[in-house]
Structures are given as structure tokens and as C-alpha cells.
Amino acid sequence: MFIMLNSACAAHYLVFTWIFGVCYGFVLLSSAAGAGNAADILEPGGSWTYDMHTVVLLNEKNESGKDVGFLVAGEVLVQVLWGSSDQQRLLRFEMSPQLYIKSRKAPSPDGFIPHSSNLDSIENKQFFVHWNQGKINKILLPKNEKLSIANLKKGIASLMQFQLLDSEEGNETDSSGVCKVSYTSTGPTIMKKYKTDCTSTDLPYVYNPDVLLGINVESDRTVTYEIDTSGDKIKRINSDEAHVMSLNAKENAGNKIEVHQTLLFKEQSAVNVIEGNTFDEVLERAINQERIAFTQESLVIEKENELNEVKKFSNALKDCRENLKGDLLGKLGPAKSFMKMVTSARISDKEDIAKVLTSGKNKPILHQLYDILGFAQTKDSHEAAMKSLRIERPDHEEFIERYYWALSLSAHPNPEIINDLINRYLKQSDIPRKLKETLLQTISSMAYRLSKFPEITQSSKKIMVKVEEILIHGFEHSKDADDRLIILRALKNLKSDTLIPFLLKTIKTGTLKEGSLAWKTIKTLNPSSWNGDVQKAAWRTFFQLDKVHDSSARTIACDVLLESHLSDDALKQLLLFLLHDEQRYEVKQYLWQRIKMIGETDENFNRRVADIIKSNAQLNNYHILAPKGLSTALVRRFLESPSANGSLVAIQEMDSGIVKRGTVDIVLEKNESHQDICSLGIFSGGLGSFISSEPPSDPDESATAGIELTLLGTQIRPFVFFSDQGELLGHVWSGTASEMTPAFQALALLQDHREYVRLGSGFIAELDVKGAVSFDLSGKISISLWNKNAASVVRKSAGIVVEGFSVIDTDFVRSQAEFIVSIEPKLNLETDIDFYSEAKLCMKLSQPEFIVRHNTFKIERIPGSKHRLRKVTYRKSIVPGRTYALNKKNNEMCNSISGS
């Protein structure tokens, strides 16, 4: 009996090890000839029988509630038919697995009883393995056996792929796919193998690159080998693995799969060795002895039948039609049906989809059907949609927009579809303006989303560059002012850093409006791209050093400055601006509001501001720090959880007593990642002269107002309520806008994740998570010229459902764990404006109570048998309603409006 040291554990450690038993940098070996190699354990002629025990359990992530799962147990015979001096072996295996299920009647501790299953009758013969210096490149399986038994065999064979020397890194291909492996001995006879980063590039992998809409899967795989102290056999092999999948945005929603496999030595005998010089020669003899046909494969296990059967589009719609009605949007039902229908659309052919689109029965839900097709994004779904949509038909405009919007919101853009849309844009000259704007925004958004997948940089870069060129060329060659604005807005969705020189040029030479749109685009870029040129331009714009700028351009430039890392001196310059005699006093108020807002969450910033103010006698003056104006900026937490924080950011830039630019952003944050869920913007222009006695900022501007919406970072074209004074007066007199009216409705996928995990013991788990939102934005506005007041209500409603499941499906058993989380949140923004004498504005931001449901289902069944198990847990918690305290000034004005 010899003790081998590995290189990292020098000889003198041996003594310590002997005494303290801490550093096990060695393993016991059987023969003097061996240099720590595993081949010595597999002596030719050896034959061992093991008890095999494989437990597979599925549960919720935190293992609350009872799990479901099964046990496969039986005997495994391992024989060494041949060995060479260069450590090659021919191994022969037999195994006899049986299925056990959990039962209350079963004996403890593990609670399993045998159950008949297909495993009892499917063909299962002996198999061979070519073992070469601890690695297995070939397994020879009997021809035409079912995948489920072949996979179990590969799982057993994979256990025999091992080394007995410590090693830091290497990679092995086995039943789990291609994994990084390391070996560490943890006792004189114990070797642990860690498998990490297992990849299965041959199986589908779909994910959402936005962190907060993503899924986290953590895997742990260890195999422990215990060698008999005599060094001539393996006493025990334990393979333990766990895979935990959870939602990044709600970490307690998730599933866990655990597998524990054991081979325990039972008895030893001997087998006749086959003579021969090469492996191939010996293998041929061995096969001749068995008299059956074999096929040669790798150890990687293969996917059986498509795990979940998906119905065709036309068929699936039968169950979903009712739920897809427009008046239900904003609720949960449509979100649930939407997920099902997207899955169906993805596997359906053009003809089947086209049939649904043309059927009279589906007329009332056509809008929603186009949402579904936009998210399906296959070649077939696109062709079916494009075939039925006619750009020259005004009654198709709404459908076309819904389809484009869905395309632009999908996390998985199809490059073929982007190219098709680009061609349509370039070839068609008569696209109505609204559609043209939506088309360009869609192309930009899709190009940007495609660029987020690091694995396809080449082709996505090409598309990005192409879109950028087309838009800039279009801008520079268009004589039409509105066309140019459309292009500038589309660039906001492209979010490309390389646009900066073009945008800065537009700020310098463009119109007031173009300048403020260019700033809006810069603001959407990653702040790390705001280089020195952007900083300089922001100073010039904010202080109007080069020319007069639109007040919105100035306030956005102000945001850019404040969100850059300002030096103390620069911050002081900004604060001194509060002392300026500034005609547009709202810009001053805006600056002050934003400084206070940042200070609310950034203590360091707050302290710097306080220090500057204290050290300056003029600034340190109450009156200056309460500048005139109604602009507001504030941030309020609406969610604080271990997984993510949520904030509402409400900013209003006022002009002449009217909201010129207002936004309410819903932002989720996790660590350093932000996800803009939704941003609602209100804009108005040219109304100053209409309501206020103050001089307008842009006397040529015609009266306009509308809302702007950004969903998941994608800007939707603005919805204009009126675009001149006549139209406005029409609304005022007829009261058309004073009923609650939907402005925007949509169905969208949030999470969209599917992957397959190869479990080492011979099963494939499918992990699938889909989340969907059904969204409704409605509003009303009433203006009374008589009483000189106006009131508006904007209501956002959303039904959000996330459904995730882990399933293992074989010919003999099917186990599944599933969670469904759902919420139905609403947000109301009410604004009252009184412009009778001095303008007063009162805003109320409120969120009614809503319920969070988190249900889990665990289901098990044995094909061909009556056995069915279903364990369900329903949980519900209530998020109380609340009204957000805005600021003191707002409160005072609300009191004053309601009091007068």
C-alpha cells in the first residue's frame, strides 16, 4: 500500500496530515506501479455489483411544502473485460432499474414504494464503455433502445469517468454536457469531483438580456468517490446536484431540482478477460459474444419527446378568445391567455395563423392577436401578419401599429424581420405619417434590442449601423420639419453612442424643438457615454451661452449635468445660477428641485450642496432657496424588497403655469441595474398665451398637448390630443376628452426564458419562465374656460402574471414543479389646475390596494398508469393602497384649490 502525494502537498505535510488529518492532497492507491491513476482500481477481470439509488426531487426554491419526485433503484454490474498498459479499459455494464414513488404508506426514512411503470417493460440490455485514462469518449449502446433507458445508462457510465489526482481545472464531456471539472481529495480514500459551467449548446436556450426581467439558474454538481482502503475497488459513488431557478425581480419565486445518486458496493466476483492488443479488436470480440447490434455514442444525454405539447394557434385560441377582449386589458386574464397564445404562435405555420386572422369570429380581438404575433416573431407569424395588413387601408392603421409596437417591445428580435421592415420603409413612399413614425421607432428599437445579445455581435452591429445611416441620411435630406422630428424621436430607441456627434450638431444648428429632442436622446444613452463634448454642450445649452434654447432642452441639459460626476466648482456654478435674474424662472425652480431630489437619496451629494451654500453668503439665504415656480421633481419608493427596489420618479417642468413636460417613471432597481418599466409623459406647447398673461417662450408655437409613453425602454410615438387652437377649443366645448378614454393598450411579454438542464444521472429538465403584462393607459381631461380651471386624470392599470415551471419528462415518469405569481397594480395621477388669478397646480399620485398571489403546483404522473399526484399551495398578500406625499408646496396649493 503506497501513499501518493500530489505536487501541491509537499512531503513534510504528510506528518501533519497524519496527525491532524487536514490536508488530504493525496489518495490511496492499490499498486506500486500506479502513479495516482484511476486505472489501477479497474483491474482487468474485475467484476463488481453495486446497489444503485437515484432520487429526483422537485420543490419550491426555498423547499417549503412537500416535494414531488421519484426514485429509480436497482443493481448495476460493472466488469472490466480488457485492459492495456496505457490505461485503456473495456468496461461492460448491466443494470436493472425500477421506479419507486413517494407514498404515505411507504416505510420511512425516504418514503418510497415500488410502482409499476414503462421501465419494467422497455428493452434494456448490457452496454460497453471505452475507458481511456479516466476519460470516456465512447459508449456503445444496444441499437434501438428508448432514449429514457439510454440516458440512464449514460448517467451510470458518466460516474465511471474519474481521476484520482487533485487537479485544478480541466473539462470533461459526460451526461451533463461539457463541464469544467476539478478534483480535490478530502480524505485518505475520498475524492471529490466538482462540475461547473456545464453547457449544452445543442439545446435551445432563450433568455431576456434585461437583468430585472431575467431568470437566475444556479447549479451545483459534485461527485464523491470513496475508494476501499484495500485500494482495489470503488466502495461508493455519490453524485449530488441541485439546480435552483428564480426570478431576478422576485427571488423567492422559483423552483429547485435535486438529484442524489448513489452506487454502493455490494459484492465482488470475476469475469473472463478478453485477449487482444487494441481496443477495437477486443471490442469486436466482445460484441460477437453478445450477439446484439450496438451503436456508438458520446456520454451526452439526449432530449426525449418535446416535453410540453403545444397546441396550434387556431386550436389554442378556442380557450383564449374570451380572455382576449379589449375591455379586459389591464387585468390578469388577458395576460395569462397571451402567454399561451405566444407559445402556440411560435410553433404554428403561416396558413394556420392566416386562417385565424381572416376569421370573422376574431374581429373583436384582432388588436390583441397582432400583439401576440409581434411577440411570436417567427418567419411564419410575420408573413401571416404582413399578408393580412394593408398599409393603404385606413381601417388597418390601428392593427399595423399594434403589430409594430409588439415587435418593438419583444426581447428577442428576429433579424430577418428587421431587414424586412427596413426594406418596406425604403420602398414605400406613401406611408401615412403616424405609421411611418411607428415603423421607424420599431426598427430602431428592434436593432437596439438585438444588440443586447453578446453572442451575435457581428450581424447585430451591421443592422445597427444600417439603421443609423438610414435615419441620419433621412434627417439630413428631409425638407419637412415634422419628418425630421419623427426621425429624431426614432433615434431615441436606437440608443447608440455613435450618434453623439450628430446629436450635438443638431443641438447647435437645429431648431428649438430639434434641440430639445436631441437632448432627450442624449439623456437616454448610458451616462458613461456622456463625454467631454456632451458636458460642454450641456453647459452651453443650460446657460444659453451660444444661443436661445428651448426651456426643455435646458432642463434636460441640467439633468445631464447633475447626473454626471460634477466637480465641486461646477456644482457651485450651477447653484449660483439660482441668483441669476432669469426670465424663465421655471428653469431655476427645476434646477433647485432636481438638486433636492438627488439629495434625498444621495447623502454625499446633499452634504456637498449644503457646504457650498453655507460658504456663500448670497446663496445662504432663505428666499433664494425658495425660488418662484411650480416645477417639481421627486422620487418616491413604492417597493422595497430583497430582490429589487422600485421607485416612482415624477418630474414636471412648468412653463407659464402649465405643465410643459411632465413624466412619471416607474423604475425597478437591483444592485446597480435599472429597468425602466414604464414612463408616462405629458407635454404641452403654445398654451401659454391661451391661459396665462405671461409672455410665451416660443410665440410661434401652435397649441398642442398630448402624452408620451415609454414601455420597457421603448418609446411609443406621442399621442396628440390636439395640435392647434381650433382643435383644442373643439375639445373644450364638446367635452370629448372628459370621459375616461383608453389612450394605449397592449399585451407584452416580460420574462421569456427557456432552457434545458442535463442532469448527470440521465434526465433532462426543462426550465421555462414566461411573464406577461396586459396594460391599459386611460385618461380624461376637462377644461373650463369659464371657471378658468382644468382637471385631468391619468390611470395606468396592469395585470402581470409570471409562470415558471421545471419539468422532467421521461417515458416512465413525469414530475413538474410550477409557480405562478400575479399582481394587478394601478397608478393614478390626478392634476387640478386653477388659472383664475395666479396659476395653481395640485397633483395627486396614488396607488390603490392590490393583491400579490403566489401559487405553487407540484404535479407527478406515471405514463400508462392511474397514478397522479397534485400538490397545490395558494398564497396571497395585500399591498395596501397609498397616496404619495409629494411636497409642501404642492400640498399648500391643493389646499388652496380645494378651499377656493
Ligand X SMILES: *[C@@H]1O[C@H](CO)[C@@H](O)[C@H](O)[C@H]1NC(C)=O
171 forms part of the interface with ligand X (CB under 6 A) = yes
Number of residues that bind ligand X (CB under 6 A): 15
Q: Which of 252, 524, 606, 887 binds ligand X (CB under 6 A)?
A: 252
Q: Are 36 and 165 in contact (CB under 8 A)?
A: yes
Q: Which of residues 60-79 bind ligand X (CB under 6 A)?
A: 62, 64
Span of 182-190, 664-672, 699-707, 782-790 interacting with ligand X by CB under 6 A: 664-672
Least CB distance from residue 644 to ligand X, whole Å? Answer: 5
Q: Residue 598, interface with ligand X (CB under 6 A)? A: no
In DSSP terms, 262 is beta-bridged to: 53, 238
Beta carbon nearer to ligand X, 208 or 323? 208
Minimum CB distance to ligand X, residue 481 (Å)? 44
Helix, strand, coil percentages for the chain (3-state, nearest 5)? 35, 35, 30
Tell me if residue 166 falls in helix, strand or coil: coil
Is 178 a residue that touches ligand X (CB under 6 A)?
Answer: yes
Name residues contacting ligand X, limited to 450-479 (CB under 6 A). Answer: none
Pairing type for strands 234-247 and 215-227 reads: antiparallel
Tell me how far, at minimum, the Cβ of 115 lies from ligand X, in Å. 29
Please compute Rg for the chain using Cα positions.
Answer: 34
Nearest-angstrom CA–CA distance, 812 and 622: 78
Q: Which stretch binds ligand X (CB under 6 A): 479-487, 642-650, 756-764, 831-839?
A: 642-650
CB nearer ligand X, residue 640 or residue 838: 640
What does the alpha-carbon distance between residue 159 and residue 171 come to, in Å, rounded to a whole number?
A: 15
Residue 323 CA to residue 364 CA, distance in Å, equals 11
> C-beta of 99: minimal distance to ligand X in Å?
29
Judged by CB under 6 A, the stretch of 81-89, 573-581, 668-676, 810-818 that binds ligand X is 668-676
For residues 308 and 673, which CB has a smaller minimum distance to ligand X in the complex? Answer: 673
**Binding span for ligand X by CB under 6 A among 47-55, 221-229, 530-538, 637-645:** 637-645
- Region near ligand X per CB under 6 A, out of 443-451, 533-541, 617-625, 666-674: 666-674
The least CB distance from residue 227 to ligand X, in Å, is 25
645 contributes a contact to ligand X by CB under 6 A: yes
- Going by C-beta distance under 8 Å and a sequence separation of 6 or more, which residues neighbour residue 623? none
Contact of 661 with 552, CB cutoff 8 Å: yes
**Least Cβ distance, residue 334 to ligand X (angstroms):** 25
Query: With binding defined as CB under 6 A, does residue 669 bind ligand X?
Result: yes
Q: Which of 470, 560, 467 is nearest to 507 (CA)?
A: 560
Tell me which stretch binds ligand X (CB under 6 A): 19-27, 626-634, 643-651, 788-796: 643-651
Question: Please, which residue, 7 or 201, has the CB nearer to ligand X?
Answer: 201
* Residue 195 binds ligand X, judged by CB under 6 A: no
Binding segment for ligand X (CB under 6 A), chosen from 157-165, 322-330, 641-649, 688-696, is: 641-649
Question: In 3D, which of 232, 217, 227 has the Cα closest to residue 268?
Answer: 232
Which residue sits closest to ligand X, CB atoms considered? 64
Whether residue 148 contacts residue 812, with contact meaning beta carbons closer than 8 Å, is answered with yes
CB 603, min distance to ligand X, A: 11
The vertex-637 CA angle with 632 and 642, nearest 5°, equals: 155
- Residue 896 touching ligand X (CB under 6 A): no
* Residue closer to ligand X (CB basis): 643 or 689: 643
Residue with cell 426550465: 767
Is 820 a binding residue for ligand X by CB under 6 A? The answer is no
* 67 vs 380, beta carbon nearer ligand X: 67
534 binds ligand X (CB under 6 A): no
Q: How far is the CB of 609 from ligand X (least distance, A)?
A: 20
Which of 670, 717, 796, 858 forms a contact with ligand X (CB under 6 A)?
Answer: 670
What is the rounded distance in angstroms from the CA atom of residue 742 to the CA atom of residue 796? 10
* Spatial distance between the Cα atoms of 450 and 461, rounded to a whole number of angstroms: 9
Rule CB under 6 A: choose which of 671, 837, 838, 888 binds ligand X.
671
* d(C-alpha 870, C-alpha 860), whole Å: 7
Identify whether the C-beta of residue 72 lies closer than 8 Å to the C-beta of residue 45.
no
Place of cell 425652480: 589
Answer for the pair 251, 800: CB distance below 8 angstroms, yes or no: no
Of the residues 320, 575, 612, 644, which one makes contact with ligand X according to CB under 6 A: 644
Reading phi first (left if > 0) and then psi (alpha if -120 to 50, else beta), residue 86 is in: alpha
Closest distance to ligand X from the beta carbon of 169 (Å): 8
For ligand X, the closer of residues 489 and 758 by Cβ is 758
Which region among 132-140, 541-549, 638-646, 768-776 touches ligand X (by CB under 6 A)?
638-646
| Minimum CB distance to ligand X smaller for 594 or for 854 | 854
Strand arrangement, sheet containing 673-685: 632-640, 645-655, 658-670, 673-685, 704-711, 714-722
Does position 875 interact with ligand X (CB under 6 A)? The reply is: yes
Distance separating alpha carbons of residues 742 and 323, to the nearest angstrom: 18
Q: Which is nearer to ligand X, 197 or 306 (CB)?
A: 197
User: Should residue 639 be labelled a site residue for ligand X when binding is judged by CB under 6 A?
Assistant: no
Question: Is 230 among the residues that bind ligand X (CB under 6 A)?
Answer: no
Pull the grid cell for residue 192: 471529490
Print the binding letters for residues 360-399 with ligand X: x by CB under 6 A, - otherwise: ----------------------------------------
Q: Between 669 and 727, name the residue whose CB sits nearer to ligand X.
A: 669
List the grid coordinates of 147: 432514449
Interface with ligand X includes 855 (CB under 6 A)? no
- What are the residue ranges of helices labelled H in 547-648? 551-563, 568-576, 585-601, 603-614
CB of 237 to ligand X, least distance (A): 23
Using the rule CB under 6 A, is 250 a contact of ligand X? no
Per this entry, what is the length of the chain?
900
In degrees and rounded to multiples of 5, residue 189 shows phi and psi of: -125, 15
Q: Classify strands 112-114 and 127-132 as parallel, antiparallel or unpaired.
A: unpaired
Look at the alpha carbons of 44, 234, 267, 155 in this order and tell me if their dihedral is positive or negative.
Answer: negative
Q: Which of 115, 340, 854, 858 binds ligand X (CB under 6 A)?
A: 854
List of residues 6+ apart from 772 with CB closer than 8 A: 335, 336, 338, 339, 342, 747, 748, 749, 750, 800, 801, 802
C-alpha span between 309 and 576 (Å, rounded): 67
- Report whether 571 contacts 537 (CB < 8 A): no
At its nearest, how many Å lie between ligand X and the CB of residue 621?
32
Distance separating alpha carbons of residues 343 and 612, to the nearest angstrom: 58
CB of residue 819 vs ligand X: minimum separation in angstroms? 9
Output the nine-digit C-alpha cell for 695.
Answer: 409672455
Q: How far is the CB of 213 from ligand X (least distance, A)?
A: 15
By the 8 A CB rule, do 183 and 196 touch? Answer: no
Task: For residue 96, state whether it binds ligand X (rule: CB under 6 A).
Answer: no
Which residues are CB-neighbours of 492 under 8 A, at least 6 positions away?
A: 444, 517, 520, 521, 524, 715
Minimum distance of ligand X from residue 183's CB (angstroms) = 14
Nearer to ligand X, 646 or 825 (CB): 646
**Binding segment toward ligand X, per CB under 6 A, in 14-22, 274-282, 509-517, 669-677:** 669-677
> Closest approach of Cβ 402 to ligand X, in Å?
34
Nearest to 127 by CA among 172, 90, 159, 176: 90
CB of 854 to ligand X, least distance (A): 5
Q: If binding is defined by CB under 6 A, does position 352 make contact with ligand X?
A: no
Using CB under 6 A, list all residues that contact ligand X: 62, 64, 170-171, 178, 252, 640, 643-645, 669-671, 854, 875
